[in-house]
Structure 1
Amino acid sequence: MHAPLLIVIQNCESMCEYMVTFFGEDKEVELRKRQIRLLHDCADACTLAAKYIARHSVFAKYSADFVSFICDICTKECMKFNDIESKNCAEMCMKCAKECKDYSMIL
């Protein structure tokens, strides 16, 4: 079982979903459109990857690699903003990207 990896992926998914809701209600929502879309995509990719990894799907490696790619992009976008929420999300996405990349390379 890959419980530590699944926890990282699920934490990233939860953080990204929270951020979508948090910034969706923000007065600067127009300035964050790209960030919000990437957060939503990242959350969706994490959800699917966690399911594939948990059930040892033949697509587990590919989904982890895809999550790593999306998380890298999401990290860069979140780092453009100075608020603590975006900084925390960037850290979470960066960790998820690394863990998923490591996982995808060992299979």
Structure 2
Amino acid sequence: MQGVAGVIDKDFSAAKLAEDIQADELVILTTVDNAYVNYNQPDQAPIGKIKIDQLKKYLEAGQFAAGSMKPKIEAVIDFVEKTGKTAIITSLRNASKLDDGVGTIVYN
């Protein structure tokens, strides 16, 4: 047996694991409190509670950076589509406040 180099997408892996164990929801913790439209622009705006269809439109419009927020968005879309359950993207400092509606909350 010989090992090979590989890269595992942690966001997709988290979504797949949450799906496989039939988790009640998927939470992805990152360095920012929310996903944003127009990130790092003067008109930057946080995304709060959002339906999956609108989030897909933002994704298709190129609102999320590859290798940064884009894989997180793709992972939560995949999870919500496959399970019909909710997914949240927020910061570690907000982890204890999930029941308060913090972060970007993605639903069907």
Note whether the superposition's TM-score is higher than 0.5: no
Larger radius of gyration: 2
- TM-score between both structures, scaled by the size of structure 1: 0.31
Structure number with greater CO (CA < 8 Å, separation at least 6) is 2
> Which structure carries more strand by proportion?
2
